[in-house]
Amino acid sequence: MVESRLWSRTGTMLAAAGLLALSGAALATEQSQQRQQGRDANQAAKQEARSGKVDCRAANQKSNAECRQDKRGTKQEGRQEKRDIKY
């Protein structure tokens, strides 16, 4: 009787440990996907900022300083998008 309770308790503990490990792995995978989406958003914003500055300067719409400010703003929007994805 005592021995069967011990085995039952051991089995329950092993099952709980297994579920805990699986949930940790799932959480890590989700975080990894969020990080990747954040990186992708940030890289896209950087590329958009680069091409926007080149277009701005080529069209001679604004001074270099104004184009630079636009580029900074675009990159900052990308960083914010990354934070939104991450949190």
What pLDDT is stored for residue 19 in this prediction?
60
What pLDDT is stored for residue 45 in this prediction?
92
What pLDDT is stored for residue 51 in this prediction?
92
Q: Which residues of 34-70 are buried (b: 16+ CB within 10 A; e: fewer)?
A: eeeebeebbeebeeebeebbeebeeeeeeeeeebeeb
What pLDDT is stored for residue 56 in this prediction?
87
pLDDT in tens, the chain (87 residues): 555 665 666 667 666 666 656 566 666 788 888 889 999 999 999 999 999 988 888 887 778 888 899 899 999 999 999 888 877
